[in-house]
Amino acid sequence: MSGPLKGLRVIEMAGIGPGPYACMLLSDLGAEVIRIDRSGAVGQPGDVSTRGRRSIALDLKSEQGLALARQLIDSADILVEGFRPGVMEKLGLGPDACLHSNEGLIYGRMTGWGQQGPLAKTAGHDINYIALSGMLASFGDADRTPPVPLNVAGDLGGGSLFLIMGVLAALYERGQSGKGQVVDAAICDGAVSLMTTIHGLKGIGFWDDQRDNNMLDGGAPFYRNYECQDGRYISFGSIEPQFYALLLDKLGVDFGGTDYSVQLNKADWPRQREVIAARVKEKTQAQWCEIFDGSDACVAPVVSLDEAADHPHNAARGNIVERDGVMQSAVAPRLSRTPGEIQGSPAVSGAQSREILRELGYSDAQAAELIASAAVGEASGGA
């Protein structure tokens, strides 16, 4: 393993969404991640969010399975779990118990609603969490139902990345105090935090609650996606006046000036959008890309997932790689001296059960007994 987190051990309680993605990023940066899967669970070979970790399958309803889970957690620097509040406590694996036996443990809890609050124990998904943050109401056209976005802003942005920030902050503090602590990472909290820029714009009177009527929500004619002649789309993000001037020049349209009095005249935005939309429709996406190529007009084509891999900039930076026949993101961010790397293929439940048992001090005969008792599961061909 290589990367700045080399030497850290993470125990991941298998789940879906933000927890696995957070653990993927920790693995990419060099941490050893051991995933505790449920016995009988089946891994998906193409699920790259589970890449780079080993798996042991345990029956947490059995005393032997629970004992093994405790043993692994006691060996860890970081635990990541994404169950509803109270589930880990019922298993006897709650923070009090785990921090009692492993004082330096960073106990990362990843939920949608957090560990307390009226909704804490209710079910939810990404769309619900960003709905209560005010984020969802800010997406889409004014005369349509808010669109269903990808789970990027909620699960991954408001969830995974805030979990990692909390875990690494607690890890840094542990270096001073020697003590671990609990990280309560809630997607609803992170989603609200992600709206900070919008809160700031609203606070200075530069944002209103009417969707599709603000600079960054598609309302501005210079910050919007437009359909080209061939039915494909192109994105404009020309906020600064010098970029706005370039945009209008290359489009060949004139709104009577390029200063802020023209650019930020909301009353004239509907007309400007119509003029630009009609102009963009006159050429294909490829033709517009040629016109804007190399300029500072802040223009980029809207491409598909497959096309993204072949775009010259992504290709030059190696942002998207193929591993085991699956296209996936490369490691990010990039570190100059201790770069990370993809540590391995997606996890297969129980694939390393015997290997991990050996590392915990169990003989091959004892491992065979645990597997025979069904306290431990094993994938076909497991090590």
Phi and psi at residue 58, in whole multiples of 5°? Answer: -125, 145
Residue 109 CA from chain centroid, whole number: 15
Closest CA to 39 of 56, 51, 26, 54: 56
**DSSP bridge pairs for 227:** 233
324 is catalytic: no
311 is catalytic: no
Residue 7 DSSP one-character state: T
**Calpha distance 47→32 (Å, rounded):** 19
The encoded tokens of residue 55 equal 């798996």
- Give the 3-state secondary structure of residue 171: helix
Evaluate whether 116 touches 123 at the Cβ level (below 8 Å): no
Closest CA to 210 of 153, 146, 152, 131: 146
As a 3-state breakdown, the chain gives helix, strand, coil percent values, each rounded to 5, of: 40, 15, 45
Phi and psi at residue 350, in whole multiples of 5°? Answer: 80, 5
Q: Which residues are within 8 A (CB) of 200 and not within 5 positions of it... i.e. 6 or more apart? A: none
Largest distance between two CA atoms of the chain: 84
Q: How many CB atoms neighbour CB 381 within 10 A? A: 7
Q: How many CB atoms neighbour CB 223 within 10 A? A: 18
Instruction: Pick the catalytic residue from 125, 209, 259, 310.
Output: 125
User: By CB neighbour count within 10 A (0-12 exposed, 13-18 middle, 19+ buried), where does 326 fall?
Assistant: middle
Phi and psi at residue 176, in whole multiples of 5°? Answer: -100, -40
Closest CA to 349 of 9, 8, 6, 13: 13
Closest CA to 7 of 31, 28, 25, 26: 31
Instruction: Pick the catalytic residue from 28, 37, 77, 155.
Output: 155
Closest CA to 254 of 272, 267, 240, 237: 272
Residues identified as active-site = 125, 155
